[in-house]
Structures are given as structure tokens and as C-alpha cells.
Amino acid sequence: MRSEDPRISSLAASAQRISRNVSAGGRGSTALSVGVISTYLTVIVVLPIAALLWESKRDGLHAFWQAISDPQAVGALKLTFGAAVIVVLINGVLGTITAWVLVRDDFRGKSLVNSVIDLPFALPTIVAGLTLLALYGQNSPVGIDVAYTKVAIGLALLFVTLPFVVRSVQPVLIEADLEMEEAAASLGAGSATVFRRIVLPNLMPAIVAGAALGFARAVGEFGSIVLISGNIPFHTQVASVYIFGQIESDNTTGAAAVSVVLLALSLVVLIGIRALGAWWSRHDR
């Protein structure tokens, strides 16, 4: 046994060296990955935002305040966030229903409907705006003329944000445990009770995530709105179109100032939505 001790010690030492080498290699790989990701995010996100902040304050804080307190800018921001919130609420309900039907029901043309859901991702938004203008404009083939109204803005935003809640909820429904629902139903729970007490708590984080993505898209949408909204100040002028108008007027500092406010408010709302989802998950547990 004693003769084998040096061999055992040698094997143990080799194993320790291999373990240290693997750990060092893992730390090196992690450091490299973090460095690449940090560089990428800095170039793509941090530097553009820093440039936007610098541009917004180039003429001083007084000019910044004048730009963001302009009644036309305030009206555009109010309309943008109001429309985005309404659209998110509608898509939160109808998007969840759509996902439910696509997962739980079988019907003819299901694959086609499933493909249509992704159409807003593939279709250029300016084409979507032109399509909506042709369908709901003055020469509407269906006799509905809502062009250059707030209703038109809502329709455009509903179109471009349709997939987010649907695609967020679908995977959760596919992976849902049907045995829990069947057990609750066998104990006498109605369909509404099963959905409210079992299904909805599991779906809520996905609904909130989809709603957050939809809100972010709605706040920054431009292409589908610029044609059908009419860009009427204090009536149908959203923030993105207002900012574009300021750039065309060679007021890049004012456009940057309003963009910073839009960015800050969007960030606050998104954090609030995420916090709501986290609170719901803790409350459900």
C-alpha cells in the first residue's frame, strides 16, 4: 500500500493541475465573451445614446427645456404614450385569445393564420401605412374613412404590435401542464375559474413581456403612422413624426431633446411593466 502512495499522490496532483487549467481556461473564455458583448453593446447602444444626450444639451439647458416644453412637443408625447397604452391593453387581451385559439383549437386554415401573425415583422412599415391608408382612407373599398384621425393611429399601432403578445404567450401555452386544468375541472371548477386561477397566473409573465415589447414598438413607430396620421399638430401628430419634422426644419438639437424625453419616459414605463410582471410572479407563488 505504501508503494502505491506516491502514485496516488501523483495522480491527485495531476488532477488538481488539470482542474486549475480548466478553471483558468473557463475564466479566460468568460472574460473574452464579456469583453466582446461589452464592446458590442457599447458601439450599438451606449455610444449612440451618449451622442443623443450630448446633442440635446449642445445649446444649453435653457434651450433643452424650451424644446421639451413646447406645447406641440408635449401634445405629441401625450398622444404617443396614450395610444401606446391603449394598444398594449387591447393586444394584451386579444393577443392572448389569439394565442389560445392557435394552440388549443384545431380548425381549417390554422397554418395560414399562424403565418399571418408574423406578417408585420416581414412587411416594411411604410407599406403597412400605405395599405391601411388605401383600406381606411377617402377611397376606402369597405366604406370606412378614418384616415388622419386618432383611430387610424390606433389601427396602425395594432397592426405593427400584433405579433408580440401572441408569440410570447404561445410557447407557454404549448408547455402548459394540462393535468392541472383537468384536475381542477374534475373537482367542479368552471372554465372561467380554471382560467383565472390556473392558466392566467402562468401566462401573466409572458403577457407582460409581450406587452413590454409591444409598448416599445408602439412608442417608436414611424413608418406605418407617417402616412395615415396626417401629422396634424395637437391632433394626430405623434412624437416620432414630430421629431422627424424638427430634423427637416434643421432643428436637430430640439429633435434630440424630445428624443431624450421619449427615451426616458419609455424606459420608466418599461421598468414599471417589468416590475409589475415580477410582482405578479411573486404574488402568485
State the residue for C-alpha cell 372554465: 191
Average pLDDT over residues 237-256: 91
Predicted pLDDT at 20:
54
pLDDT digits (tens, 9 = 90+) for 44-92: 888 888 888 888 888 888 888 998 899 999 999 999 999 999 999 999 9
pTM of the model: 0.79
Cβ atoms of residues 215 and 80 within 8 Å: no
Taking residues 188-195, what's their average pLDDT?
Answer: 74
The mean pLDDT value of the chain amounts to: 82
Whether residue 14 is predicted with pLDDT greater than 60 in this model: the reply is no
DSSP 228: T
- pLDDT value, residue 107: 84
Between the alpha carbon of residue 97 and those of residues 162, 168, 178, 191, 240, the distances in Å are: 12, 12, 17, 14, 30
Confirm if 229 and 39 have CB atoms less than 8 A apart. Answer: no
